[in-house]
């Protein structure tokens, strides 16, 4: 501002500085002085209210102490002197201002003599006294007394012991007030019998009531009054202790006065001195005038136990300098500074102004050019830094990434490869530099994919994910994936290529592994179903081209389940692996062996001109499988069943080859396993019927399509019917009456035989019981039990339940079992047989003679009957061998104490032969076909007999 003004303004500047400085000094001085006053005033108010609050607390505490003491009377009845002593002793020790605790007891004149006697036991010579004109004397007779009875401490207070205070109007009024407000009440100052100083103490009293009296109204309380407890407090000591305790006693800056009255009544002064005389000295007057003495005052009235207390505080006179040093020195300093500044401004203002003008001008110029320079430099620095960062970023990225970076010139020759192709890709950059890609990658030029790439590059197209294999420095195959794009200069001319490369060998290997895992069986390592389809497709395509046949074989192990169940899954796995290896070894390299599932393998054989396909290939495979296998230290002989489907067969589609092989294999199984079958269309029909029957069978039970027929069993000796065999019939709405041999096998394979068999058992027993109930003679009923039922859990319980439910005697049920039941687990079978036997049912061996079993083991089984298979019976007349077998079975069975029944007896000759050889019973068309229940009943009713038969 200064520089713009003309020269005369300079003098004005100095004057302005002076005037402003003086005014600012004065203001500053006053402001600081005001702050000082505020501080003094604030500190005074704080200290004063601290004391007033401490006094309030102390007084309240005195009342609290008494309340606690009084509590003794409320809770203990009556209170003994010792208890009073014990209770008050710690309170006295803690609160020095307490002169005494006492208990004023109301004593009637009648009680006086007794009461005084009690006092004398404690202190000889004591009587009830009173205080009259400052002297103690024996109290004259009154209607009642309020006597100091309990007194603690006694020492120093002896004079008060026995004192009757009934005459003390103030004390009595206080007690009255206490009863009225039902709380503590305090007296004004009073003189004590035990203290010569007048008006030195006050008393706080609390009424003591008779225990249990109602105290709701003041009248009730007056009536219940038995005395009062009191604490005698030395007023001055109390105030002193309160201040000392709060550490507020010594403050020379404060003058404290406490009055036991509503206002500052010098006559009621308890503590401190009365207010100071008004200022009269010359110095004090001056201080007033200068307003340097604040004249702080504080007055407060408290009310404790109904008694007013007045507290005044005022500031003690202070030294002027002590309180106002700050404001005075500030003022002096400011004045001095003002003068100096004025002189300085005056002297330098002129010179400074010119220099300033010049400097400012130069500075402005300089600033402008400087700014331009700074802008330039920082712009350049930014560019450089950005460049460096970009370069660094690139290097870091290349180092971090698995890629390397390459550049080619316009002739597609590598000119630069950075980023560690050696470390990342296992080939040295030098191998490439100066050459094109197709010169360095073997097999690229000439291959379809390579030529396509070369064409794209020559057309200056970008490319990505170009994958190829190359050989590393160490001779292993590495896979690279390359991305590249053409580079053009500013004029648009082609300059070459640049791009990245990455090693993808690990990924390629993983892909190959995954591919292999996805196409092979984990256990045997053979191709799985998915790869099998591929191979089959290839084989068939080849077959079509070369017009040479393909054989598809389905190989299924016989009794694999038995090995798995009895030897454990580990053994089962070993067996599968072994078989897989044997199949593989038995075939040519070009043939395929795949594992279809579980124990099923598929073999694809293609015909070669020099080697025709022939049945002995199949036999060779079966022989290979049938070699003994060592499992868990035991030798096992595992055979297999094989189905073969031939391609091309007339009209059969390629897709059904495996299915046909399966059907043929199934037939091979049916024919007793360990053989092979070539597929024929008839097999297919059979298989389809099987499927039809299976579907219908599932619903047959619930649709109630089953019925039982009964075929009589006749005793040869008497010619009478002694039993019957229950035979299942299936009446299907579309298929008509389905013979058991068409569906029992299916039911067994599917497990449906279990519920169906249960139905048969229950129905047969129920029917037998019904015939008895209808009055017919008791007969035994034979029920066929299939292997599946025999092995099913809960068989014995089920049979027992059927007997219990139908009420049929166990002896009238015979269960027919076939030898095959005992083949898998003899131990378990014997156990089950004994269980059944224990129920009381009969057991017979059905179709005897057809199984593999020798007669010897029969002795170990709890069997009752042998049923000679009808094939032997049928041949009795044609085949002398069979006839002999029948005769020896009968003889042997009798040796073992078994009954023998021959089934399938169709002719009188057969019957005669059986009779000759001592057969016990017969069953067959000769006597009767199986009959529906109603017809069978008629047979029984007319008591049909063998003797009635035509010869
Ligand atoms: P199986 O137990 O050997 O039953 C005897 C079979 O011989 C019956 O055939 C019966 O009709 C037939 N038969 C009886 N006498 C003669 C005769 O003089 N000449 C000829 N040629 N045959 C005679 P069916 O009823 O067709 O039963 C066939 C098989 O089905 C039974 O053979 C049995 O293995 C099975 N089967 C029948 N019902 C049941 C059943 O309820 N449960 C089970 N698990 N299998 C049953
Ligand atoms: Ca039977
Ligand atoms: Ca039979």
pTM: 0.45
pLDDT cut 70: percent of the chain above it: 94
Report the Cα 566 to chain-centroid distance in Å.
42
> pLDDT tens for residues 247-257?
777 677 777 88
Report the Cα 494 to chain-centroid distance in Å.
64
Closest CA to 549 of 540, 557, 558: 540
Report how far ligand 3's centroid is from the alpha carbon of 785 (Å): 11
Q: Work out whether the CA dihedral 455, 458, 461, 464 comes out positive or negative.
A: positive
Nearest CA to ligand 1 atom 35: 740
Nearest CA to ligand 1 atom 27: 740
Nearest CA to ligand 1 atom 26: 740
- Mean pLDDT taken over the chain: 86
pLDDT cut 90: percent of the chain above it: 38
Would the pLDDT of 230 be above 80?
yes
Ligand number nearest CA of 785 is 1
> pLDDT tens for residues 429-447?
888 899 999 988 888 888 8
d(Cα 331, Cα 866) in Å, to the nearest integer?
143
> Would you state the pLDDT for residue 287?
58
d(Cα 845, Cα 901) in Å, to the nearest integer?
10
User: Ligand 1 atom closest to Cα of 753?
Assistant: 44
> pLDDT tens for residues 865-913?
999 999 999 999 999 988 998 999 999 899 989 999 999 999 999 999 9
Indicate the pLDDT class of residue 403, thresholds 50, 70 and 90. confident
Strand-pair category, 403-408 with 494-503: antiparallel
d(Cα 333, Cα 341) in Å, to the nearest integer?
12
Query: Which has more confidence, 608 or 775?
Result: 775
Average pLDDT for residues 529-543, to the nearest whole number?
A: 90
Report how far ligand 1's centroid is from the alpha carbon of 947 (Å): 25
Q: Which residues line ligand 1 (CB under 6 A)?
A: 711, 727-728, 739-741, 744, 753, 757, 760, 784, 786, 846-847, 870, 903-906, 924-925, 930
Helices H / strands E in the chain, number of each: 27, 33
Report how far ligand 3's centroid is from the alpha carbon of 46 (Å): 123
User: Ligand 1 atom closest to Cα of 905?
Assistant: 18
> Would you state the pLDDT for residue 2?
43
Counting beta carbons within 10 angstroms of the beta carbon of residue 550, is it exposed (0 to 12), middle (13 to 18) or buried (19 or more)? buried
> pLDDT tens for residues 663-703?
999 999 988 889 999 998 888 888 888 888 888 999 999 99
DSSP 697-724: HHHHTTTT-EEEEEEEEEETTT-BEEEE
- For residues 907 and 684, the answer to whether their CB atoms sit within 8 Å is no
Report how far ligand 2's centroid is from the alpha carbon of 71 (Å): 107
Would the pLDDT of 572 be above 50?
yes
d(Cα 260, Cα 876) in Å, to the nearest integer?
148
Average pLDDT for residues 782-805, to the nearest whole number?
A: 93
Closest CA to 136 of 120, 159, 117: 159
> pLDDT tens for residues 336-382?
888 888 888 878 777 777 888 888 899 999 999 999 999 999 999 99
Report how far ligand 1's centroid is from the alpha carbon of 741 (Å): 8
Report how far ligand 1's centroid is from the alpha carbon of 711 (Å): 9
Neighbouring CB atoms inside 10 A of 830's CB total 15
Nearest CA to ligand 1 atom 33: 784
Indicate the pLDDT class of residue 317, thresholds 50, 70 and 90. low
Report the range of poorest mean pLDDT among 153-162, 475-484, 646-655, 913-922: 646-655
Nearest CA to ligand 1 atom 44: 786
d(Cα 88, Cα 86) in Å, to the nearest integer?
6
> Would you state the pLDDT for residue 285?
57
Per-residue tokens: 68? 């606690």
- For residues 461 and 486, the answer to whether their CB atoms sit within 8 Å is yes
> Would you state the pLDDT for residue 614?
87
Average pLDDT for residues 475-503, to the nearest whole number?
A: 92
d(Cα 137, Cα 119) in Å, to the nearest integer?
16
Counting beta carbons within 10 angstroms of the beta carbon of residue 242, is it exposed (0 to 12), middle (13 to 18) or buried (19 or more)? buried
Would the pLDDT of 289 be above 50?
no
Q: Work out whether the CA dihedral 698, 702, 703, 706 comes out positive or negative.
A: positive
How far apart, in Å, are the Cα atoms of 840 and each of 16, 474, 778, 867? 141, 84, 16, 19
Indicate the pLDDT class of residue 302, thresholds 50, 70 and 90. confident
Report the range of poorest mean pLDDT among 49-58, 410-419, 743-752: 49-58
> Would you state the pLDDT for residue 161?
86
Would the pLDDT of 735 be above 90?
no
Report how far ligand 3's centroid is from the alpha carbon of 868 (Å): 8
Neighbouring CB atoms inside 10 A of 742's CB total 13
> Would you state the pLDDT for residue 806?
97
Query: Which has more confidence, 784 or 137?
Result: 784
User: Ligand 1 atom closest to Cα of 760?
Assistant: 41
Residue 110 per-residue DSSP state? H
Which of 693, 784, 788 for mutating ligand 1's site (highest number of atoms within 8 Å of CB)? Answer: 784
> Would you state the pLDDT for residue 96?
80
- For residues 68 and 271, the answer to whether their CB atoms sit within 8 Å is no
Average pLDDT for residues 592-612, to the nearest whole number?
A: 90
Q: For helices 9-75 and 320-400, what crossing angle results, to 10°?
A: 90
Report how far ligand 3's centroid is from the alpha carbon of 766 (Å): 23
Would the pLDDT of 857 be above 90?
no
Query: Which has more confidence, 132 or 931?
Result: 931
- For residues 525 and 576, the answer to whether their CB atoms sit within 8 Å is no
> Would you state the pLDDT for residue 274?
55
Would the pLDDT of 766 be above 80?
yes
d(Cα 157, Cα 160) in Å, to the nearest integer?
6
Per-residue tokens: 636? 């096992």
Indicate the pLDDT class of residue 262, thresholds 50, 70 and 90. confident
């Amino acid at each position: 501002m200064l520089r713009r003004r003309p020269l005369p303004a300079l003098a004005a500047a100095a004057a302005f500085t002076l005037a402003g400085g003086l005014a600012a000094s004065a203001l500053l001085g006053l402001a600081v002085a005001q702050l000082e006053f505020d501080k003094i005033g604030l500190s005074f108010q704080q200290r004063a209210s601290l004391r007033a609050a401490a006094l309030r607390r102390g007084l309240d505490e005195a009342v609290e102490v008494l309340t606690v003491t009084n509590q003794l009377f409320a809770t203990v009845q009556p209170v003994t002197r010792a208890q009073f002593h014990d209770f008050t002793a710690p309170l006295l020790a803690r609160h020095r201002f307490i002169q005494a605790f006492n208990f004023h007891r109301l004593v009637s004149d009648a009680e006086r003599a007794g009461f005084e006697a009690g006092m004398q036991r404690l202190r000889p010579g004591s009587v009830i006294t009173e205080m009259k004109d400052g002297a103690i004397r024996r109290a004259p007779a009154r209607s009642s007394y309020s006597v100091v009875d309990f007194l603690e401490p006694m020492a120093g207070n002896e004079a008060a012991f026995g004192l009757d205070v009934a005459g003390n109007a103030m004390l009595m009024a206080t007690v009255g007030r206490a009863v009225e407000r039902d709380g503590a009440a305090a007296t004004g100052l009073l003189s004590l019998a035990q203290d010569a100083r007048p008006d030195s103490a006050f008393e706080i009293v609390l009424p003591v009531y008779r225990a249990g009296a109602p105290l709701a109204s003041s009248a009730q309380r007056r009536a219940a009054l038995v005395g009062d407890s009191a604490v005698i407090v030395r007023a001055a000591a109390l105030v002193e202790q309160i201040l000392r305790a709060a550490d507020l006693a010594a403050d020379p800056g404060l003058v404290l006065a406490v009055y036991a009255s509503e206002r500052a009544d010098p006559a009621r002064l308890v503590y401190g001195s009365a207010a100071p005389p008004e200022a009269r000295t010359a110095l004090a007057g001056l201080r007033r005038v200068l307003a340097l003495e604040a004249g702080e005052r504080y007055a407060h009235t408290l009310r404790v136990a109904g008694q007013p207390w007045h507290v005044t505080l005022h500031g003690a006179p202070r030294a002027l300098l002590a309180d106002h040093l700050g404001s005075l020195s500030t003022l002096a300093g400011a004045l001095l500074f003002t003068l100096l500044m004025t002189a300085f401004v005056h002297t330098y203002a002129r010179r400074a102004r010119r220099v300033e003008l010049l400097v400012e001008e130069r500075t402005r110029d300089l600033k402008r050019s400087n700014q331009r320079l700074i802008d330039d430099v920082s712009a350049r620095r930014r560019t450089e830094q950005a460049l460096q960062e970009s370069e660094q970023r690139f290097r870091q990225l290349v180092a971090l990434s698995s890629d390397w970076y390459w550049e080619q010139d316009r002739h597609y020759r590598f000119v630069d490869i950075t980023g560690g192709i050696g470390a990342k890709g296992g080939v040295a950059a030098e191998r490439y530099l100066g050459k094109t890609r197709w010169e360095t990658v073997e097999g690229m030029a000439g291959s379809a994919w390579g030529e396509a790439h070369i064409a794209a590059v020559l057309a200056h197209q970008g490319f990505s994910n170009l994958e190829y294999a190359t050989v590393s420095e160490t001779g292993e195959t590495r896979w690279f994936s390359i991305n590249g794009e053409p580079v053009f200069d500013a004029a648009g001319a082609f300059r070459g290529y640049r791009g990245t490369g990455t090693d993808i060998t690990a990924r390629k290997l993983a892909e190959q592994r995954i591919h292999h895992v996805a196409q092979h069986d984990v256990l045997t390592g053979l191709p799985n179903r998915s790869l099998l389809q591929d191979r089959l497709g290839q084989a068939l395509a080849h077959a079509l081209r070369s017009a040479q046949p393909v054989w598809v074989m389905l190989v299924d192990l016989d009794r694999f389940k038995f090995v798995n169940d009895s030897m454990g899954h580990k053994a089962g796995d070993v067996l599968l692996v072994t078989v897989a290896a044997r199949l593989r070894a038995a075939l040519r390299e070009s043939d395929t062996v795949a594992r279809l599932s579980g124990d099923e393998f598929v073999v694809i054989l293609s015909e070669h001109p020099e080697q025709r396909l022939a049945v002995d290939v199949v036999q060779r495979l079966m022989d290979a499988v049938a070699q003994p296998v060592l499992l868990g230290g035991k030798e096992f002989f595992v055979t297999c069943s094989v189905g073969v489907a031939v391609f091309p067969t007339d009209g059969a589609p390629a897709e059904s080859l495996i299915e046909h092989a399966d059907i043929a294999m199934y037939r091979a199984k049916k024919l007793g396993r360990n053989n092979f079958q070539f597929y024929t269309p008839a097999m297919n029909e059979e298989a389809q019927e099987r499927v039809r029957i299976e579907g219908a069978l599932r619903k047959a039970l619930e649709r109630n399509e089953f019925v039982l027929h009964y075929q009589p069993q006749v005793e040869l000796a008497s010619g009478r019917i002694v039993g019957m065999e229950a035979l299942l019939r299936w009446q299907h709405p579309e298929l008509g009456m389905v013979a058991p041999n068409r569906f029992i096998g299916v039911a067994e394979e599917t497990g449906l035989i279990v519920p169906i068999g249960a139905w048969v058992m229950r129905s047969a027993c129920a029917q037998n019981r019904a015939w008895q109930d209808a009055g017919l003679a008791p007969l035994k009923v034979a029920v066929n039990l299939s292997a599946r039922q025999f092995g099913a859990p809960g068989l014995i319980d089920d049979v027992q339940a059927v007997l219990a439910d139908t009420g049929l005697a166990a002896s009238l049920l015979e269960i027919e079992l076939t030898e095959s039941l005992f083949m898998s687990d003899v131990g378990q079978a014997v156990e089950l047989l004994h269980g059944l036997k224990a129920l009381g049912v009969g057991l017979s061996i059905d179709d005897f003679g057809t199984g593999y079993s020798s007669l010897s083991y029969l002795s170990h089984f709890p069997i009752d009957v042998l049923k000679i298979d009808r094939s032997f019976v049928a041949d009795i007349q044609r085949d002398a061998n069979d006839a002999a077998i029948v005769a020896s079975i009968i003889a042997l069975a009798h040796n073992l104490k078994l009954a023998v029944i021959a089934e399938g007896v169709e002719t009188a000759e057969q019957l005669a032969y059986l009779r000759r050889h001592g057969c016990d019973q017969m069953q067959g068309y000769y006597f009767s076909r199986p009959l529906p229940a109603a017809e069978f009943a008629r047979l029984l009713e007319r008591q049909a007999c063998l003797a009635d038969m035509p010869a």
